[in-house]
């Protein structure tokens, strides 16, 4: 008896460390990470099909029209979306699929796929979040950092809407917590095939 894989949305504010968690998860057997599609230009070092699927606006619109996205959204003139086809192929093969998604996209993917499981990665404290945002070193403009912190606070208010909340203190514990969730979700009686 081989059950279908499940879809897991991993979300959380910028600086919570969700990217690092996802990088660890994908090392495990039977877990795949969905690669987003975007209409923005590839940056230096980004490879099509690895970091993103880079599409033209026309290609992206065509996929929208064909119901090709589990969720999509527009930020600053660019579109971002989670392609449906590859994810559904993986789950049919019994693989679990992780979507690393902005807080805004989670509601949409859950609406389109009530069976998908949503996990909010929470920073251990606002102090740690601020330290992480500053520590990245990509942004030193105080105003930008304050804006990101304010946005993170707003996003944290959405945490109760998720199925699970995992605090990202020590990385290994956080990854183990997510793996527990993945395992336990497969054991739910509603997913059991008699």
Which residues make up the interface to its own copies (CB under 8 A)? Answer: 120, 159-166, 176-177, 179-181, 183-185, 187-190, 192, 194
Min. distance of Cβ 12 from its own copies in angstroms? 12
Nearer to its own copies, 138 or 194 (CB): 194
Min. distance of Cβ 121 from its own copies in angstroms? 11
Beta-sheet pairing, 78-83 with 37-38:
antiparallel
- 185 C-beta neighbours (distance < 10 Å), count: 18
- How many degrees, rounded to 5, is the angle at CA 105 between CA 12 and CA 80? 110
Cβ neighbours of residue 102 under 8 Å, at least 6 residues apart? 11, 73, 80
**Helix residue ranges, H only, 66-139:** 84-92, 103-112, 126-135
Nearer to its own copies, 5 or 83 (CB): 5
Tokens of 104: 């805004």
Nearer to its own copies, 83 or 123 (CB): 123
Identify any residues that bridge with 165 across adjacent strands, giving them in sequence order: 120
Q: Are 37 and 83 in contact (CB under 8 A)?
A: yes
Min. distance of Cβ 2 from its own copies in angstroms? 13
Min. distance of Cβ 71 from its own copies in angstroms? 20
Nearer to its own copies, 32 or 177 (CB): 177
Nearer to its own copies, 85 or 188 (CB): 188
Min. distance of Cβ 96 from its own copies in angstroms? 14
């Amino acid at each position: 008896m081989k059950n279908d894989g499940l879809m897991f949305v991993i979300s959380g504010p910028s600086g919570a460390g969700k990217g690092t968690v996802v990088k660890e998860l994908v090392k495990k057997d039977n877990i795949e990470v969905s690669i987003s599609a975007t209409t923005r230009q590839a940056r230096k070092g980004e490879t099509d099909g690895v970091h993103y699927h880079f599409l033209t606006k026309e290609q992206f619109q065509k996929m929208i029209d064909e119901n090709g996205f589990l969720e999509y959204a527009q930020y600053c003139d660019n579109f971002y979306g989670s392609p449906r086809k590859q994810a559904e192929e993986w789950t049919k093969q019994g693989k679990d699929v992780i979507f690393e998604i902005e807080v805004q996209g989670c509601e949409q993917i859950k609406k389109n796929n009530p069976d998908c499981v949503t996990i909010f990665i929470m920073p251990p404290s606002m102090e740690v979040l601020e330290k992480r945002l500053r520590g990245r070193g990509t942004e030193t403009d105080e105003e930008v950092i304050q804006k990101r912190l304010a946005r993170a606070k707003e996003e944290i208010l959405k945490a109760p809407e998720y199925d699970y909340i995992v605090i990202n203190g020590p990385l290994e514990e956080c990854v183990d917590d997510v793996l527990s969730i993945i395992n336990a979700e497969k054991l739910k009686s509603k997913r059991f095939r008699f």
